[in-house]
Structure 1
Amino acid sequence: MSRILDTARARGALDPILLDRAETRTEAPPLGLDIAARIAEIDEPRLRRDRLARLRAELAARDYAGALLSDPMNIRYATGARNMAVWTMHAPGRYVFVATDGPVVLFEFGTTRHLWDGLGPVDDLRTSIPWFYFLAGPRTQEKTELWAKQVIGVMDEFGRSNRRLAVDRCEPWGAQRLVDAGIRLFDAQEPLEMARRIKTPEELKCMQLSVDVCDIAVERIRKALRPGLTENQVWSILHETNIAHDGEWIECRLLASGERTNPWFQECGNRVIEAGDIVAFDTDMVGPFGYLADISRSYVCPDRRPTPDQRRLYEIAQEQVLTNIELIRPGLGFREFSERCWSVPEAFVPNRYMMMIHGAGFVDEYPTVAYLQDYDDWGYDGMFEENMVVCVESYIGEVGGSQGVKLEQQVLVTANGAVPMSKSPFVDAMEP
């Protein structure tokens, strides 16, 4: 190492600041929790086995021979195999065939196959044939044909004469080749969502760990908040905390301040936060083991006390979330919930959040619970069940108003009702 540094010095290739960092060894700053110990508490083989068993039960209930999965979160749910998750969301060059009664065959990039040797649920590891244009280029049709032969081959080998295959992502020219071979295609997302709706014991440990990490980030944001910071600077605290605790990514950029808090869904930017601004954010944090911590908080930037109007907005949003949490219990139907839920005051209805409740797991998942007035457009019925994890939402801001408040609490549905998973201050959090 010293010889490399000496050579770089002679060439003038190293910045003095980088030299100091390279030559000085310091211990990493302490984390908010002992992440290594918490990870060790998770029984990963059981985590993977239980998820695979839930998926196979859903496939069997629909008489599918198996599932062909390209969505990286579906691959991970079925196998535990993580590999460049965000990149493969738009470059689906790896996939898995899960036989309902047979092996799990993972098709992985040839240069990354070594990552998954010996991974429990994977019975057979083969090289994938990427057939999207970035890697296949003008050979897309050729690669599509080879990919289709792979899939038809595992169906012939393990389908036991059943030609019903669940598929999550498949370009039409590939799907047509499977159909031409006599394979009937069905939506894999339905059995996946139904499997994922109930969390296994190890999944609940993973989700609580992710929420605990998120709570640390939220507290750091609250302590760091001061006039003069940009929205992006504040948002970076969530990313840093998540990555330092073995987390993975943030789904959105939903932090806004001042007048940008109304209407909601404006992404964070370079606006400088001022004293007295409401700063509202929605974490959408994919943390350790790939599980979601999805809470929203709204604070007032220090050096100016909250105004009466800010307190009013916060109290209304808080009442909506707390009232709706109290309603949730196993056996309650989604539509019945919508009929009995807290009624949004008329002034805030036009800007209301897009839904009242959504499920959480790897990311946002089934179910979504619509406002009653939205049922004709996109609502559906269902039932809350024990060991679901859901997020209870509120956005309160008037059309034309100068600001708004976003609150959200992630809860576990237990036999006795819904229990918040986050300890981040919620009730009266706008108090100075």
Structure 2
Amino acid sequence: MAPDSLRPESLTHSPVDLPALRAWRLDRLREELKARDYAGALLYDPINVRYACDARNMAVWCLHNAVRYVFVPTEGPLVLFDFHNCGHLSAGNEVIAEVRPAIAWHYFAAAERGAELAGRWAAEIAGLVACHGGGNRRLAVDKCDFRGIDALRAQGVAVCDGQEVLERARRLKGPQEIACLRASVAVCAEAMGAMRAALTPGMSENELWSILNQVNAARGGEWIETRLLAAGGRSNPWFHECGEGIIEAGDMVSFDSDMIGPHGYCADVSRAFLCGDGRPRDEQRRLYRLAAEQIHFNMDLLRPGLGYRELAERAWKLPASCQANRYSVVVHGVGLCDEYPSVVYLQDYDAAGYDGVFEAGMAVCVESYIGEEGGHEGVKLEQQVLITETGVELLSTFPLEEALLGREI
């Protein structure tokens, strides 16, 4: 059991006011809809549904089964379409005016009746657009296959990009969202402490990773997005998923939490531990120090008004030996999951970059992966921060490793 000082409730600055959280997010969403002159939004992605109305139900299952969606008019009552016999799950949620049974028309649910049911579904959605749109037929839709889009268009609905709307709305965090992020990173810190304490030679990568899951679930967290934990030679190059491999004394163990914690908010923090009681090798210390230097240098650059491309141009320069194995981004947004923006390395800008400006109220993750091409091990570090009016505030609380930094205590 963690000491009281490490309990997530002790590290959370304030309790979460759910009505205030819901109101803030719904207002943000409607501001973006108004700015684009949309009649409303139709949302399927469980993360977007959560943002719009704070209604959770089998989120991971619904990621691949289109059985649950919400209609959010720019002006008017919000309607949640929930799974079979699940209307009671939203009782007491003040932003949901009505719950209706969802119409599922994906193949698992409908088989050869898909076209028929998609037509019925589209007619119901078009009716809501007509009722609340004031003649505006422009509807933001986040995820929908071709059959649904065709059926909506046949009803005279103009289908627009809903994911843009949600990413732009989600980019700025309100006070209650920040409280949720603090709660999630507190749970993550508790889990990392438990992982650090349990790490012994002879355990498997899967056993170590399972501790993150257990603590998250016990503290009201929801799921883990990836299985990114690797030891020894499997830590370079990055992106090996954890497996049955045995962690040996002296191995560097790198991992990325990718943890969806309490209230559905993400704690995306990376750390690297040394297994066993031995002294780290000079090479391990060198790699770890480089990763820490990259994180701190780039954190110091962040401020409101800084451009995304400007950050890429001014960011810490990877050693030539680490360029080939560079991480996918320098910085990315974080909230209910990894979110907009995504700032890539400067050499990747022509292929995948875009510009924009950091704003106070954004929560972002500052990334580092240091693994030399052909090298044995790699180090993954990541800090989660809040951009303030003057710079950044560190949200992630679990410390870096003093022994690997060369500052034994």
- TM-score above 0.5, yes or no: yes
Offset at residue 110 of structure 1 (A): 3.0
Mapping for residues 66-77 of structure 1, pairs under 5 Å: 66-77=40-51
What residue number does 1:414 align with?
Answer: 388
What residue number does 2:284 align with?
Answer: 310
Q: Alpha-carbon deviations, 1:176-222, whole Å to 9, x = none?
A: 11112221111101110111000010000000010011001111111
- Contact 1:299–1:429 (CA under 8 A) maintained in structure 2: no
Q: Match of 1:276, SS?
A: coil
CA distance in 2, matches of 1:203, 1:46: 10
Q: Is 1:214 paired with 2:188?
A: yes
TM-score by length of 1: 0.91
Offset at residue 265 of structure 1 (A): 0.3
Q: Is 1:257 paired with 2:231?
A: yes
Q: Is 1:376 paired with 2:350?
A: yes
Tell me which amino acid in the other structure corresponds to 1:134: F
Tell me which amino acid in the other structure corresponds to 1:67: A
Cα distance change, pair 182–227 in 1 and its aligned pair in 2 (3 A): same
What are structure 2's unaligned runs of at least 5 residues?
A: none
Offset at residue 40 of structure 1 (A): 8.2
- Contact 1:35–1:246 (CA under 8 A) maintained in structure 2: no
Q: Alpha-carbon deviations, 1:388-428, whole Å to 9, x = none?
A: 10000011111111111111100111112112112211263
Offset at residue 429 of structure 1 (A): 5.5
What residue number does 2:126 align with?
Answer: 152
What residue number does 2:244 align with?
Answer: 270
Offset at residue 138 of structure 1 (A): 2.2
Q: Alpha-carbon deviations, 1:303-344, whole Å to 9, x = none?
A: 322101111101111100100000000111111111111111
TM-score by length of 2: 0.96
Q: Is 1:424 paired with 2:401?
A: no
Mapping for residues 11-410 of structure 1, pairs under 5 Å: 33=7, 35=9, 41-410=15-384
- Contact 2:12–2:186 (CA under 8 A) maintained in structure 1: no
Provide the alpha-carbon RMSD of the alignment.
Answer: 1.7
- Contact 1:93–1:130 (CA under 8 A) maintained in structure 2: yes
Answer with 1 or 2: which has the greater Rg: 1
CA distance in 2, matches of 1:152, 1:39: 44
Tell me which amino acid in the other structure corresponds to 1:286: I
CA distance in 2, matches of 1:258, 1:89: 33
Q: Alpha-carbon deviations, 1:238-271, whole Å to 9, x = none?
A: 0011011000000000000000000000000000
CA distance in 1, matches of 2:294, 2:354: 21
Q: In the comparison of the two structures, how many residue pairs are matched?
A: 405
CA distance in 1, matches of 2:282, 2:350: 37
Identity among equivalent pairs (%) = 53
Greater relative contact order (CA < 8 Å, ≥ 6 in sequence): 2
CA distance in 2, matches of 1:372, 1:400: 23
- Contact 1:35–1:245 (CA under 8 A) maintained in structure 2: no
What are structure 1's unaligned runs of at least 5 residues?
A: 1-27
CA distance in 2, matches of 1:423, 1:237: 18
CA distance in 1, matches of 2:382, 2:299: 10
CA distance in 1, matches of 2:311, 2:13: 36
Tell me which amino acid in the other structure corresponds to 2:183: L
